[in-house]
């Protein structure tokens, strides 16, 4: 037996180890630095991404079941312009074309997600497996591999089978853990011989907060102060279960890796000399990425979440915390269930301390954090309202991950910027700037010692942007959604990203400037091509309408043909009248 003093020395040692892993990060040192010319480590993987509901379309084709997003987007008033993902980019029918685009970019990997209800229409494996859905993903995977592009597969990018939502309440219910595990197991069984990178969940923060707290996303529930925490709790358990399933049943044979993709905005203290601001910024990050990463790497929720939500719950007269807790067995089962960490990152906020009232009626995930978010008006914000380009925040976040979670292997699973353009624009200079600066900050983070192995530009194509519909375009390739065939056109950023990939970084200033100049030059010809194509398809539509008696076209007939014919008749009558008048004179 160890003597008591040795035990307490051990305790102190363990305590110091635990504390130091969370204290490494230096909040007071934000070195923006200048642009860094250099290359990424050999073998660094460059990719682009997409997700099933956002790009596949074919919402009811070949036996696919309904997802919560099919149902949500069909409800009026939920999505900008009442857009839906019904046909989206028609990715389901365009495997060859899209893999062609990836080859053109010389991508090393492509990240896509599998639609659960396309494989299992009700979500319950014993009900029915849809072989046509399996076939679609087999084709996609085989095409990628033939083109030497590594598939990175996400199992859950938000499209829960609607049946599971209706029957059990979706992620509010613990039974999702088993159903999801069965679905994942099916994927390992059918695709695992060719897939080496699995992502269990994409951005569970959004699923929990926007799906079950604010209701902006499917399933649209507003269970403030509890819904998000409960959903997240079940998602973390489901992730762990799937990791164990792979670990015990498939890893030895398939030799793949299983991770999770967590999304995290960076939070920078407004005043880095003010301890309260530093604590508030840390809370912001812990309530975001830390909410999921801390249980997965350390076995339990961040202490600060337990403290804040617990204290507020008591003040609200509740017997237990609104944040659920894990049993000791669950903690050890969850801890360490991550072979690599997927990081999705887009933007940054300045954070300052702000006390929120703790009354029960005002309880929510947002008020639990006691902070205020600010932005610098000088930060560029070309597209989505929430997306400010702050490249240095990316390096800060990556270093935070390194210091908090023992320098895990990281794949950047999402990073990119949107544009809000009413007219067609392929010369996306601001996206070139965004990719250039963000990937450069990632390179600096690698020099800092962060273990980043790959980068995924978000996204390959313009696509359905959730509650924003098609109004926000994240793609490297422009998709003409008004054309039934959904043709794709390269934006200037395609040329630029291609150069980063082929040089594996940034050789020198002259060359990088040259890439940019050339990229912007080529896009003006693509712009003309697209404009000409649009004119051609409008003309073709009119001609088709004139010859096509189908009533389904009546609406367009009244919109385009009738006014045109009326205008022509008025013009002709005027000319005829003038002719008559002149003759009488």
> Which residue in 87, 115, 165, 203 binds ligand NOJ (CB under 6 A)?
203
- Asked if 417 and 346 count as a contact pair (C-beta separation under 8 A), the reply is yes
Q: Which of 450, 350, 433 is nearest to 395 (CA)?
A: 450
Of the candidates 56, 282, 414, 441, the residue annotated as catalytic is 414
Kindly state the smallest distance separating residue 206's Cβ from ligand NOJ, in Å.
Answer: 6
Kindly state the smallest distance separating residue 111's Cβ from ligand NOJ, in Å.
Answer: 10
Strands 410-415 and 348-353: unpaired
Kindly state the smallest distance separating residue 457's Cβ from ligand NOJ, in Å.
Answer: 12
Residues 471-510 that bind ligand NOJ (CB under 6 A): 474
Tell me how far apart the alpha carbons of residues 23 and 502 are, in angstroms, rounded to a whole number. Answer: 38
How far apart, in Å, are the Cα atoms of 209 and each of 67, 222, 224, 257? Answer: 19, 9, 9, 27
> Which residue in 202, 363, 403, 433 binds ligand NOJ (CB under 6 A)?
202
Q: Which is nearer to ligand NOJ, 168 or 379 (CB)?
A: 379
Long-range contacts of 95-100 (CB under 8 A, 24+ apart): 95/136, 95/139, 95/140, 95/143, 96/143, 97/488, 98/460, 98/461, 98/488, 99/140, 99/143, 99/144, 99/147, 99/149
Q: Which is nearer to ligand NOJ, 414 or 428 (CB)?
A: 414
Task: Take residue 525 and report the two structure tokens written for it.
Answer: 């010809």
CA angle 166, 225, 184 (to 5 degrees): 45
The answer to whether residue 414 is catalytic is yes
Let me know how many helices (H) and strands (E) the chain has, helices first. Answer: 22, 15
DSSP string, 531-553: HHHHHHHHHHHHHHHHH---GGG
Q: Which is nearer to ligand NOJ, 421 or 556 (CB)?
A: 421
How far apart, in Å, are the Cα atoms of 329 and each of 173, 332, 337, 340? Answer: 20, 5, 14, 23
Q: Which is nearer to ligand NOJ, 284 or 474 (CB)?
A: 474
Kindly state the smallest distance separating residue 451's Cβ from ligand NOJ, in Å.
Answer: 22
Q: Which is nearer to ligand NOJ, 185 or 263 (CB)?
A: 263
Kindly state the smallest distance separating residue 55's Cβ from ligand NOJ, in Å.
Answer: 10
For the beta carbon of residue 512, count every other beta carbon within 10 angstroms: 20
Q: Which is nearer to ligand NOJ, 158 or 366 (CB)?
A: 158
For the window 549-578, what string marks contact with ligand NOJ as x by the rule CB under 6 A?
------------------------------
> Which residue in 381, 419, 441, 465 binds ligand NOJ (CB under 6 A)?
465
Cβ neighbours of residue 478 closer than 8 Å, sequence gap 6 or more: 424, 426, 462, 488, 489, 490, 491, 530
Q: Which is nearer to ligand NOJ, 368 or 414 (CB)?
A: 414
Tell me the number of residues near ligand NOJ by CB under 6 A.
9
Q: Which is nearer to ligand NOJ, 201 or 515 (CB)?
A: 201
Region class of 314: left (phi > 0), else alpha (psi between -120 and 50), else beta: alpha
Cβ neighbours of residue 566 closer than 8 Å, sequence gap 6 or more: none
How far apart, in Å, are the Cα atoms of 382 and each of 103, 426, 440, 479? Answer: 28, 14, 20, 18
Kindly state the smallest distance separating residue 263's Cβ from ligand NOJ, in Å.
Answer: 6
Place of tokens 């990203």: 497
Kindly state the smallest distance separating residue 259's Cβ from ligand NOJ, in Å.
Answer: 15
What's the chain's length in residues?
A: 585
Q: Which is nearer to ligand NOJ, 123 or 475 (CB)?
A: 475
- Asked if 387 and 434 count as a contact pair (C-beta separation under 8 A), the reply is no
Stated as kind and residue range, the H or E segment containing 228 is helix 227-245
Q: Which is nearer to ligand NOJ, 207 or 242 (CB)?
A: 207
Q: Which residue is nearest to ligand NOJ (CB)?
A: 203
- Asked if 440 and 36 count as a contact pair (C-beta separation under 8 A), the reply is yes
Residues 254-273 that bind ligand NOJ (CB under 6 A): 263
Kindly state the smallest distance separating residue 348's Cβ from ligand NOJ, in Å.
Answer: 15
Q: Is residue 51 involved in binding ligand NOJ (CB under 6 A)?
A: yes
Residues 329-388 that bind ligand NOJ (CB under 6 A): 344
- Asked if 138 and 130 count as a contact pair (C-beta separation under 8 A), the reply is no
Kindly state the smallest distance separating residue 276's Cβ from ligand NOJ, in Å.
Answer: 30
Kindly state the smallest distance separating residue 430's Cβ from ligand NOJ, in Å.
Answer: 16
For the beta carbon of residue 524, count every other beta carbon within 10 angstroms: 12
Kindly state the smallest distance separating residue 479's Cβ from ligand NOJ, in Å.
Answer: 14
Region class of 370: left (phi > 0), else alpha (psi between -120 and 50), else beta: left
371-374: strand order across its sheet: 266-269, 348-353, 371-374
Q: Which is nearer to ligand NOJ, 171 or 308 (CB)?
A: 171
Tell me how far apart the alpha carbons of residues 179 and 119 are, in angstroms, rounded to a whole number. Answer: 13
Write out the catalytic residue numbers.
414
Q: What residues make contact with ligand NOJ under the rule CB under 6 A? A: 51, 54, 202-203, 263, 344, 414, 465, 474
């Amino acid at each position: 037996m160890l003597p008591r003093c040795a035990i307490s020395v051990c305790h102190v040692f363990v305590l110091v180890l635990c504390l130091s892993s969370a204290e490494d990060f230096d909040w007071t040192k934000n070195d923006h630095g200048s642009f860094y010319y250099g290359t990424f480590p050999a073998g660094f993987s460059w990719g682009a991404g997409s997700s099933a509901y956002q790009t596949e379309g074919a919402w009811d084709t070949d036996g696919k079941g309904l997802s919560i997003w099919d149902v949500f987007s069909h409800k009026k008033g939920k999505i900008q312009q009442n857009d839906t993902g019904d046909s989206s980019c028609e990715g389901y029918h365009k495997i060859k074309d899209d893999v062609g685009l990836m080859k053109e970019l010389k991508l090393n990997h492509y990240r896509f997600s599998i639609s659960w209800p396309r494989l299992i229409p009700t979500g319950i494996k014993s009900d029915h497996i849809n072989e046509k859905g399996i076939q679609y993903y087999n084709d996609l995977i085989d095409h990628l591999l033939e083109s030497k592009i590594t598939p990175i597969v996400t199992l859950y990018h938000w499209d829960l089978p609607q049946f599971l939502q209706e029957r059990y309440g979706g992620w509010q219910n613990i039974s999702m853990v088993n159903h999801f595990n069965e679905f994942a197991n099916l994927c390992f069984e059918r695709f695992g011989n060719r897939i080496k990178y699995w992502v269990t969940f994409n951005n569970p923060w959004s699923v929990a907060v926007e799906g079950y707290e604010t209701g902006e996303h499917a399933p649209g529930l507003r269970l403030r102060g509890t819904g998000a925490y409960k959903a997240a709790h079940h998602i973390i358990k489901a992730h762990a279960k799937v990791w164990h399933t792979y670990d015990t049943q498939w890893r030895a044979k398939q030799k793949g890796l299983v991770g999770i993709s967590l999304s995290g905005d960076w939070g920078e203290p407004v005043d880095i000399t003010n301890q309260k601001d530093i604590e508030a910024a840390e809370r912001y990050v812990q309530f975001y990425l830390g909410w999921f990463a801390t249980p997965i790497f350390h076995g339990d929720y961040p202490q600060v979440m337990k403290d804040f939500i617990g204290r507020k719950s008591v003040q609200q007269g509740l017997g237990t915390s609104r944040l659920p807790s894990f049993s000791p067995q669950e903690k050890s089962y969850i801890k360490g269930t991550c072979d690599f960490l997927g990081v999705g990152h887009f933007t940054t906020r300045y954070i300052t301390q702000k006390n929120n009232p703790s009354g029960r009626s005002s309880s929510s995930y947002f008020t639990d954090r006691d902070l205020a978010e600010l932005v610098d008006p000088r930060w560029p914000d070309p597209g989505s309202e929430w997306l400010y380009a702050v490249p240095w925040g990316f390096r800060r976040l990556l270093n935070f991950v390194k210091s908090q979670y023992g320098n895990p292997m990281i794949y950047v699973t999402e990073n990119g910027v949107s544009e809000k353009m009413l007219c067609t624009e392929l010369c996306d200079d601001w996206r070139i700037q965004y990719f250039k600066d963000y990937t450069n900050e990632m390179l600096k983070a690698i020099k800092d010692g962060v273990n980043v192995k790959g980068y995924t530009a978000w996204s390959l194509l313009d696509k359905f942007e959730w509650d924003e519909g098609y109004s926000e375009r994240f793609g490297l390739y422009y998709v003409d959604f008004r054309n039934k065939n959904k043709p794709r056109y390269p934006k200037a950023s395609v040329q630029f990203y291609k150069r980063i990939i082929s040089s594996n970084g940034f050789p020198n200033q002259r060359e990088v400037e040259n890439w940019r100049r050339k990229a912007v030059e080529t896009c003006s010809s693509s712009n003309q091509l697209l404009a000409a194509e649009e004119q051609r398809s409008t003309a073709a539509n009119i001609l088709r309408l004139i010859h096509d008696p189908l009533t389904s076209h009546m609406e367009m007939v009244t919109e385009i043909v009738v006014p045109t014919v009326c205008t022509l008749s008025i013009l002709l009558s005027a000319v005829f009248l003038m002719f008559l008048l002149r003759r009488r004179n």
